[in-house]
Amino acid sequence: MDLQLSGKVAVVTGASKGIGLAVVRVLLEEGARVVAASRKSGPELEELAGPRLAHVAADLMDPGAPAQVVAHAVERFGGLDILVNNAGGPPPGARLPRFSFEGPTDADWREMFEFNLFAAVRAIRAAIPHLVARGGGAIVTVSSGGARQPAPMNVDYNAAKAGLNTLTKALSEEYGPRGVRVNTVSPGPVRTAWWTEEGGAADIIAAQAGTDRDTVMDTVAPQMMKLVTGRLVEPREVADMVALLASPRSASTTGADFAVDGGFLKEL
């Protein structure tokens, strides 16, 4: 399927690894021009270097950073058609999962919302005028299955992601008549650095369960989260959905949330 993304200009946040890196790769494969934003680049992102890719070093905990990223895209490529709010997860220096509401402090809650909600709000605020000026475009935000199926784990993270879902619905109503489509993609557990890096979720759960990190990722986590596929989601599987929603082929899809979660979400 031709996604009709050739020549489109996209901003992708959290782009140096995981889902963000996979989104950058898919968009480049589809012919888009991409501004990849992350605190620092990485070897896998650098392998994609070319005239249609620009990296912007940005710390999205800085309130001014999202607007600077959008401005760079407009200056470099002449406009903006797509915003992918992918950056999220544990704020810099934090480790998830947290197993109880009693764990996170006020400071933890503020940092979680700053990274997972407010950074996306600021990016959208900066992007909207440019999308409207092009006659429309697409905003795709990476949420989480935990926003719709909350549990007494990562409660601050899930609350921030629920805010993103509500924001998406509101934006789709306000800006749909002006040609801007707004949707969310809600992954389940994805085999990214959040799980795989040293001290990440796999190690934290392994310490709780008395097992090793590989067993957590291959067996314990899929069972604990009741994944019907029996495995963690791969980043490319989420990226493919993001690209489809960014595409003009999804012209009548807005205000929607799409689960790419291995069967994690059980509600209708």
Q: How far is 3 from 162, CA to CA, in rounded Å?
A: 29
Q: How far is 225 from 220, CA to CA, in rounded Å?
A: 9
Residues 6+ apart with CB under 8 A from 153: 97, 98, 99, 100
Q: Are strands 137-142 and 82-85 parallel, antiparallel or unpaired?
A: parallel
Radius of gyration of the chain (CA): 18
> Which amino acids are annotated catalytic?
157
6-40 burial, b at 16+ Cβ within 10 Å, e below that, comes to eebbbbbbbbbbbbbbbbbbbbbebebbbbbbbee
Q: What is the DSSP letter of 229?
A: T
Q: How far is 39 from 58, CA to CA, in rounded Å?
A: 5
Closest CA to 203 of 39, 90, 88: 90
